[in-house]
Amino acid sequence: MIVFAIDPGFAATGVVVYDVKDGEILTSRTIRTAPSPNKKQLRVADDDFERLRYTAGELVGIMREYPKPWLVLFEMPTGGARSSRAVRSMSLITGVLAGVLTAMDIPYEAYTPVECKLAACGNRNAGKGDVEKGVIKYFETYNKWSKKKTDREHAIDAGSVLICALKSSPVLKFFKGD
């Protein structure tokens, strides 16, 4: 079984692909979008839609690189955003992810940020650095995390989602034979 752990974000979505049978990460990456520099001729809503469509297309492309069966794990935003724009952006990307999963008939499990932090490093108030240390330690044989900090942190967050599921998902326990 192939598992896709996803840290959804409007500007950056972290993805980790994991082979349950072999117990190894196959790849980690970050899908990036940026606002169009052509603001005078493009409305914000149109620009946002293009960014969401790009992310959806990239997710579908990544998934199609691997054989089924698939399971998607993702971090479900629970609030705490600093602005109404951030809340809107998280709602939009979560809706896009739900649409992709529904259209492709892919089962999923969602985890909260607190669950992911606790699983990765045992601290519900952990910062990015603590989570990164915990994820790298847990997957010590995987050494292909991005060297670029801003890309690595989103893939690392997806890695924390994977750790959370590996520790608690009944579906993964079944496929692992636990």
Model pLDDT for residues 26-69, shown as the tens digit of each residue = 999 999 999 888 765 567 778 899 999 999 999 999 999 999 88
Cβ contacts of residue 159 below 8 Å, gap of 6+? 5, 14, 16, 25, 28, 120, 135, 138, 139
Sign of CA dihedral 34, 38, 40, 43: negative
User: Alpha-carbon distance 170 to 176, whole Å?
Assistant: 10
Is 90 exceeded by the pLDDT of residue 153? yes
Cβ contacts of residue 19 below 8 Å, gap of 6+? 1, 2, 3, 26
User: Alpha-carbon distance 90 to 107, whole Å?
Assistant: 21
List the domain boundaries for the chain.
2-176
Contact criterion met (CB below 8 Å) for 162 and 16: yes
Is 70 exceeded by the pLDDT of residue 5? yes
pLDDT at 42: 61
| Closest residue by Cα to residue 19 from 158, 123, 162 | 162
pLDDT at 100: 96
pLDDT at 46: 85
Contact criterion met (CB below 8 Å) for 109 and 71: yes
Backbone angles phi, psi at 8, to 5 degrees: -70, 140
User: Alpha-carbon distance 119 to 131, whole Å?
Assistant: 9
Model pLDDT for residues 96-113, shown as the tens digit of each residue = 999 999 999 999 999 999
The DSSP letter of residue 12 is: E
* CATH H-level superfamily of 2-176: Ribonuclease H-like superfamily/Ribonuclease H (3.30.420.10)
User: Alpha-carbon distance 123 to 43, whole Å?
Assistant: 42
The DSSP letter of residue 122 is: S
The number of beta carbons lying within 10 Å of the beta carbon of residue 96 is: 20
pLDDT at 56: 97
